[in-house]
Structure 1
């Protein structure tokens, strides 16, 4: 399966529901989709369930990436996203956690962090056929998507205008990780530059990646990662309405010293 072109959905005008970092929080995702008006049809027990989604008004879901890691049900989230891709009811861009899990599935030498361990643990209950399908799906995900005739850009960590429509190694790295200084803070987290501070592009850019307790919106850039896996909220941005819809986390699933 080849990587999707960033403009593969350029002529899709929505309406869309853009959902922030899910990180394996499948129950919260289902609850948010229901709140957004989607019907969910699930088959199989939790942990191996397949869920199909549909909206009576034809709305479609766009995931900002980081489907996996840290939460309790990464495989259920993957299955829902993969089924949505097959049914043409959702699209997703690659997140840095999705990419690292993909590299692990490919047998690459990756550092198995505490975040990745939660996903690897789930794979032990899976059949090889599903893991091969998951690998093919993750390999196909683009670094960013161009939607609504170019009025909307979705990338996991955001994307400055100079990279819009370009699927290169440099643009893909920025889309997954943002712009870092190469230094870390006193908690060991990478120090990132605020690229959105200087954004003057016409397209609206929607991303996740940096968990904050409130939705951040400035210079036509939205950040939707509101830390559901840390006990925060799972957030969706309705497009073109620019309306925020949220559900609270069932619990704190993974420790984060910044959220104490």
Structure 2
């Protein structure tokens, strides 16, 4: 099976459609179909910060309804899930843009959307294991020691937030260890979460979050070819949002 693995979308729907079409998918049926049988996969965080979270999620809902969806939910996905369940969450760090969209819906539409999102999230595994476990898609990454380990809060936090230390930088960003430098497993790990200027290949891992919502690019990794395909962002460029320690 061949996959095209797309980085963090964050509501950049127009860029997503442009990338999907550049990858050779047709949208005649309303969902992406490739003549060579390729399948799309996603590292998560489809929503928040960008202009069109609802349209992006609706496309993913339709894809999930049509066939198994290869999507690894990220920290923003988890926060919206908790919001959709009625839990108290801070409507900040991007969630406010998605909530603003939701608040334009009628009362019934809002209820239907939040119900559908809960169903969407609950149907997803914490990370994707594909191609006979030779390919792992995990939102913020996963170390070899946690692959195949039964679900736990420790695994969820690593997959959705990375190898965090609990400390924060002066700019408010969490301090994260560079787990990919230590990875020496056999599976190819494709992840996002940490915006970088260019897709980062290191130790059989690839970071495909190239900061589309911050004015960078929306990027896909073609697997197993390991080719990178990108489209430019339509959003304002915010260089301070990109991680430099890579």
TM-score range, shorter chain: over 0.9
Query: Counterpart of 1:88?
Result: 67
- CA shift, 1:213, in A, is 0.7
Query: Counterpart of 1:165?
Result: 148
Which of 92, 95, 118 is the matching residue for 1:113? 92
1:136 partnered with 2:123: no
In structure 2, list runs of 5 or more residues that go unmatched: none
In structure 1, list runs of 5 or more residues that go unmatched: 1-13, 43-50
- CA shift, 1:70, in A, is 0.2
1:213 partnered with 2:197: yes
CA contact (8 A) 2:5 2:40 kept: yes
The 5-angstrom pairing of residues 60-71 of structure 1 reads 60-71=39-50
CA contact (8 A) 1:70 1:229 kept: yes
Count of matched residue positions in the alignment of Structure 1 and Structure 2:
238
Cα shift readout 1:165-203 (whole Å, capped 9, x = no counterpart): 233221111100011111111211001001111111000
CA contact (8 A) 2:126 2:138 kept: yes
C-alpha distance 247-89 of structure 1, shift in aligned 2 (>3 A): farther
Query: Counterpart of 1:194?
Result: 178
Aligned equivalents of 1:70, 1:223: Cα separation in 2: 20
SS of aligned partner of 1:158: coil
Aligned equivalents of 2:62, 2:143: Cα separation in 1: 30
CA contact (8 A) 1:158 1:207 kept: yes
Query: Counterpart of 1:24?
Result: 11
